Amino acid sequence: MHTFPKHNILLNLNSKKMNNSFTNRRGFIKRSIGAGAAMLAGPALLSAPGVLSGRSSVSDATEPFKLKYAPSLSMFREHAGKDPIDNIKFCHDMGFRAVFDNGLMGKPEDLQVKVMDELRKYGMDFGPFVLYADFKTTSFVLDKPEVREMLEKKMREGVEVAKRTGAKHALVVPGRYDERLHRDYQTANVIENLRYCCDIVEKEGLTIVLEPLNTITNHPGLFLTGIPQAYQICRAVNRPSCKIVDDMYHQQITEGNIIPNIIAAWDEIAAFHIGDNPGRKEPTTGEINYLNIFKFIYEREFDGVLCMEHGRSLPGKEGEARVIQAYREVDNF
């Protein structure tokens, strides 16, 4: 993995001579790309004071990334502030063409609409929002009326968000496993409960995406842990509204073999989550070869969202700039 000297990063981050004009910025980036140094353009730009107030138009944006990497609405708050609308504009200016917000359902309804309207204005996509992810409860693995009642309530809440905003994908974690029930019976119950959920969501054009999570580092006790397992369940549910979100951080811990598992489960994968391992920080900080993975996904003409569900290796504005630089590196194929 190629890395850039730390002093080059800090030099760009601390530059005070960069012109704030977005016309000059675009010319600078194009010259950098032509010189084989596109990786340094992001941090140099971000170091300029008043970058938000200096924004002019969409046509002045930096070159779009090849894939739809999606920062969270708070990932660049040191540069863009706390306003989600300013964050969307900032992400677009940095070349991102999608965002995600796990907590969309918890936001005020008028803000939900405002966020999605702003994304449509800039032609940006939106990653899956979290519909159901209870890490403490045994739910989907049980065949009980009270579980169905709870799931119906949750799914209808998700449908209302989708109708209000136009969001297309809702993330579901099927909860904990039951130590007193054979795994195969639990799998059968998960399949039936998902079919029940699909009956509710798919009429409104909403797709459930199942997220397998690792039980070694982050989430012990959960039922759904691997891509092969999620693939088996989606094939058994056999509904267009039940797919997979492949979180490559979790899967590196659980099973590795990331590209072969993507190939095997390709038809059931609707979205990806990104995070390096160990540490769950931006790409280039761990052992996952995201440059090759993203190149492979791009060559398969994937048009979905890849949510940047990770932290930052450095604090403050320097850390945010490093995130953007890292994505320029792994998008350079």
- Catalytic pick from 118, 211, 282, 318? 211
- The pLDDT value given to residue 62: 77
Task: Give CA–CA dist 90/59, Å, rounded.
Answer: 13
DSSP symbols for 318-333: HHHHHHHHHHHHHT--
Tokens of 327: 């994505």
Q: Write the pLDDT tens digit of every residue in 261-313.
A: 999 999 999 999 999 999 999 999 999 999 999 999 999 999 999 999 999 99
Domain 59-330 belongs in CATH node 3.30.365.10 = no
Name the pLDDT band for 17 (thresholds 50, 70, 90): very low
The arithmetic mean of pLDDT across residues 34-54, rounded, is 40
Q: Write the pLDDT tens digit of every residue in 244-257.
A: 999 999 999 999 99
Q: Write the pLDDT tens digit of every residue in 195-220.
A: 999 999 999 999 999 999 999 999 99
Active site residue 211: yes
Helix (H, G, I), strand (E, B) or coil at 310: coil
The arithmetic mean of pLDDT across residues 127-133, rounded, is 98
Tokens of 28: 């600078």
Which is more confidently placed, 313 or 19? 313
- The pLDDT value given to residue 3: 40
Question: Measured in whole angstroms, how far is the alpha carbon of residue 23 from the centre of its chain?
Answer: 30
Q: How many CA atoms lie within 13 A of 44 on its CB side?
A: 21
- Catalytic pick from 118, 282, 309, 318? 309
pLDDT surpasses 80 at 6: no
Q: Write the pLDDT tens digit of every residue in 138-197.
A: 999 999 999 999 999 999 999 999 999 999 999 999 999 999 999 999 999 999 999 999
Which is more confidently placed, 53 or 97? 97
Active site residue 309: yes
Domain positions in the chain are 59-330
Which is more confidently placed, 53 or 117? 117
- The pLDDT value given to residue 22: 37
- The pLDDT value given to residue 257: 97
Torsion, CA 112, CA 117, CA 122, CA 125, rounded to 10 = 50
